[in-house]
A and B are shown apart, each in its own frame.
Chain A
Amino acid sequence: MDSNLNASFLNESSKKGFRMKNIIEINHLVKKFEIKTKKAGFLNKIKSLAKSDIKEIKAVDNISFEVKQGDIIGFIGPNGAGKSTTIKMLTGILFPTSGNISVLGLNPQKQRVKLAYSIGTVFGQKPQLWLHLPAIDTFNLLGEIYEVDEKEFNDRMEKLVDLFEIKDLINTPVRKLSLGQRMRCEIVAALLHNPKIIFLDEPTIGLDIIAKKKIRSLLKKLNEEEGTTIILTSHDLEDIEKLCNQLIIINKGKIVYNNSMSEVNKFLRTKIIELYFEDKVKEFKLPKNAKIKEKSPYKLVVEIDTKKISTTSFLDYFFKNYEVADLVIREAPIEELIEEIYKN
């Protein structure tokens, strides 16, 4: 394993203390894509064979930020905001149109392979485990790919297998595992070579609440025990709230927020509760600290701050006073958080 590449970089930061050195630096990063547009209709299709209309899209628009060693950064934004494009530029897969990137003191585009030894990636929707084989086979393969010394690899695997509680799973073909079990194995696969930074792109997508909770606590433990820097993109604001110490919000390619979690915690505590009623309700009386967002005789949408009133006590109130037929609890959408940030 090419462990020397950033040893001096990290040693220097260790001497200065944990979380002192910038591990990632991005300056004025821009990424434009050219997309062919096609008009509807047969004639237009024929015309497009000779000349196609090219539309330029600015996926990332002049962003700059820094990440310190040991940080857990939440990187969020609506669909198409530029999150994944940024992550892919940080890992060296995509080439920026302009701007500078430095990850562990390396240029990801010029030194992609060298950098690969020190980073781990989990793309939630793009599994890297071999589906028809047990996870242990992929783990052994990754040990070879990252050129990890055999003893070091076995010790590391044993530690991660214990930490992520997958001892009983690693000899079962991956296709027979549940989504949550598979994701735990995916994360272990990304950590086997002891990366300094791990990029997690939607790691909890499609998981049930228990599996999500498990993944979050394991990531937190990993960060505390090993000081691994984690860059996390997620649509699940609870992932961000429970894990991250810094939040970056990106919208239409621009950074709209880059600060500690405390500033946005109030928003992250907000729950939207939709209530549906058996009978027509003429008038609704709400408990304190609940705000009506939408109402009709059979439906009520309410926003609550869970610090001021818990979801349970809010629901208790409604079950006691009304004939509730059904309910949905969800988080406030990221778009509302962005709107809130713009307002302030």
Chain B
Amino acid sequence: MKIRKYSAISKIEFKQGFQYFFDFLLSAFFIVVILFVFSNLWRTIYGTKATIDGFSIGMMIWYLAFTEAVTMGMGWRSLFETVSDEVKNGTVSNYLTKPLSYVGWHMSKGFSKFVITFVTVLFISSVLCLLLVGPISFSYFQIIPLIIITLMTFILSFFIGMSLSLLAFWLEDVTALYWILQKGLFILGGMLIPLDVYPAAISKYLTYLPFAFIVYGPGKYFVTGDISVFTHTLIGQIFWVSICAGIMILIYKLAIGRLNIHGG
């Protein structure tokens, strides 16, 4: 894989992303509503309690701000819809006649979208979190490890999203799969509530599923700065990235071999 051409794809997507940045900014303000609703909800649940399963109310809201930024940045919905459309209307042929990988093309574009969305949403929600619950303790030493596991989060989420999107070569429409996957992330990945709050009998298993390494692990490290959470998350991410990459490559090879584009 020649990295230069893929970085050029990321660059042009980045440029295109800023063409309509104001529109995007308006849609990103959705996070304001979510954080406002959840902060009130958690206030009621916490009552006089200082912490719930090790999380203060401040940590809980900042956790949600981070996991929402990751989830919005992953752009699963857009990936599923784009691949479905490209297979259905035959636009996939525009990529297959070029010396590049179809998966690499979407990964490069997805990376730019992830960076733009993640940074913007996290910025907006950080301002709101400061107003709603004030700052949480965050060390500058957390920045590098956080960037590493956030990048791994993107890679893992992309491989899972792409593997299922590629099923469009068989099913044509994979939007139903997107809904299942998204709900899986919400419930099994601890997107809205950290897995620590779940009953122990369930959460001990959930922390090993790939969903947990997309949102729960990075989110928990963001609010706790606990190095053991970082290492557990990174090891889990490397493991699942290897598995999912293998699955994605296999599905891609099978998909390309059975591509059917009728007519023009």
Could you tell me which A residues sit within 8 Å of B by CB distance? 2, 33-34, 59, 79-80, 84-85, 88, 91-95, 112-114, 116-117, 119, 121, 123-126, 128, 130, 132-133, 137-138, 140-141, 144-147, 199, 201-202
Residue-wise, chain B 241-264 has the 8 Å CB interface mask toward A (1 for contact) of 000000000000000010111111
Among B19, B93, B262, which residue has the most Cβ atoms of chain A within 10 A? B93
User: Do residues B97 and A93 form an inter-chain contact, with CB atoms below 8 A?
Assistant: yes
- Whether B43 is near chain A, meaning CB under 8 Å from some CB there, is no
Tell whether B47 is near chain A: CB-to-CB under 8 Å.
Answer: no
Q: Are A147 and B98 in contact (CB under 8 A)?
A: no
Chain B residue nearest to A113 (CB atoms) is: B99
**B5 on the A face (CB < 8 A):** yes
| The 6 A-B residue pairs with the shortest CB-CB distance in the complex, in nearest-first order | A144-B8, A116-B99, A121-B97, A93-B96, A144-B5, A91-B97
A113 → B minimal CB distance (Å): 5
Residue of B nearest to A127 (CB): B94
B20 at the interface (CB under 8 A from A): yes
The answer on a CB contact under 8 Å between B15 and A92 is: no
Contact A132 B19 (CB under 8 A): yes
| Chain A nearest Cβ from B230, distance in angstroms | 35
Contact indicator A94/B91 (Cβ below 8 Å): no
Interchain nearest-CB distance for A111 vs B (Å): 11
Can you list 27 contacts pairing A with B, beta carbon distance less than 8 Å? Answer: A79-B263, A84-B261, A88-B261, A92-B96, A93-B93, A93-B96, A94-B260, A95-B259, A116-B99, A121-B97, A123-B93, A123-B264, A124-B264, A133-B12, A133-B15, A137-B12, A140-B12, A141-B8, A141-B12, A144-B4, A144-B5, A145-B5, A145-B8, A145-B9, A146-B99, A147-B4, A202-B264
Q: What's the Cα separation between A201 and B264 when bound, in Å? A: 8
Contact with A along B66-108 (1 / 0, CB 8 A): 0000000000000000000000011111101111100000000
A202 to B262, CA, bound (A): 15
Interface residues on chain B, number (Cβ under 8 Å): 28
Q: What is the number of contacts between chain A and chain B, taking CB atoms within 8 Å?
A: 90
B98 touches A145 (CB 8 A): yes
A-chain residues with CB within 8 Å of residue B263 when the two chains form the complex: 79-80, 84-85
Proximity string of chain B (127-159) to chain A, C-beta cutoff 8 Å, 1 when within and 0 when not: 000000000000000000000000000000000
| A124 CB contacts on chain B under 8 angstroms | 264
Given A140-B8, A144-B4, A112:B96 Cβ within 8 A: yes
Give bound CA distance, A223 to B216, whole Å.
59
Q: Are B90 and A137 in contact (CB under 8 A)?
A: no
Q: How far is the CB of B19 from chain A (nearest CB, A)?
A: 5
B262 touching A116, Cβ below 8 Å: no
Which of the residues B20, B97, B264 comes within 8 Å of A125, measured between beta carbons?
B264
Most buried by A among B93, B262, B264: B264
Q: Are A145 and B99 in contact (CB under 8 A)?
A: yes
Check if B16 sits within 8 Å of A133, measured CB to CB: yes
Q: Using an 8 Å CB-CB cutoff, how does the interface string of B166-191 with A read, 1 for contact, 0 for none? A: 00000000000000000000000000
Question: B49: which A residues are within 8 A, CB to CB?
Answer: none
Q: Say whether A126 contacts B94, CB under 8 Å.
A: yes
- Given A133-B12, A141-B8, A144-B5, A92 contacting B97 (CB threshold 8 A): yes
Are B259 and A94 touching (Cβ within 8 A)?
A: yes
Q: What are the residues of chain B within 8 A of A201 when measuring CB–CB?
A: 264
Partner of A126, one of B2, B91, B257: B91
User: What is the distance, in angstroms, from A155's C-beta to the closest C-beta of chain B?
Assistant: 19
Interface centre among B4, B9, B15 (most CB of A within 10 A): B15
Partner of B12 from A59, A95, A130 at Cβ < 8 Å: A130
Given contacts A91-B96, A94-B261, 12 further A-B contacts (CB under 8 A): A33-B262, A84-B264, A92-B96, A112-B96, A116-B98, A123-B264, A125-B264, A130-B16, A141-B8, A141-B9, A144-B4, A147-B4
A85, A119, A137: the one contacting B97 at CB < 8 Å is: A119
Residues on the A chain within 8 Å of B90, using CB: 123, 126
Interface residues of B in 182-210 (CB under 8 A from A): none
In the complex, the answer to whether A95 meets B94 with C-beta atoms within 8 Å is no
Chain B residues, Cβ within 8 Å of A79: 263
Distance of A92 from chain B, by nearest CB (Å)? 7
Tell me which residues across on chain B come within 8 A of A130, comparing CB atoms: 12, 16
Shortest CB-to-CB span from A58 to chain B, Å, is 13
B5 near A147 (CB under 8 angstroms)?
yes
One of B8, B16, B257, B262 near A132 (C-beta < 8 A): B16
Do B264 and A133 have beta carbons less than 8 Å apart? no
Point out the residues of chain A lying under 8 angstroms from B93, CB to CB: 88, 91, 93, 121, 123, 126
Report chain B residues within 8 Å CB of A132: 16, 19-20
Using Cβ atoms and an 8 Å threshold, which residues of chain B touch A114?
Answer: 99
B residues within 8 A CB of A145? Answer: 5, 8-9, 98-100
Q: Give the Cβ gap from A135 to chain B, nearest Cβ, in Å.
A: 12
Give the residues in chain B near A138, CB-CB below 8 Å: 12
Decide if B94 touches A128 in the complex (CB within 8 Å). Answer: yes
Bound-state Cα–Cα, A242 to B4, Å? 41
A154 vs B180: C-alpha distance when bound (angstroms): 48
What is the minimal beta-carbon distance from A52 to any residue of chain B, in angstroms?
13
Q: Which residues of chain B are within 8 angstroms of A119 by Cβ–Cβ distance?
A: 97
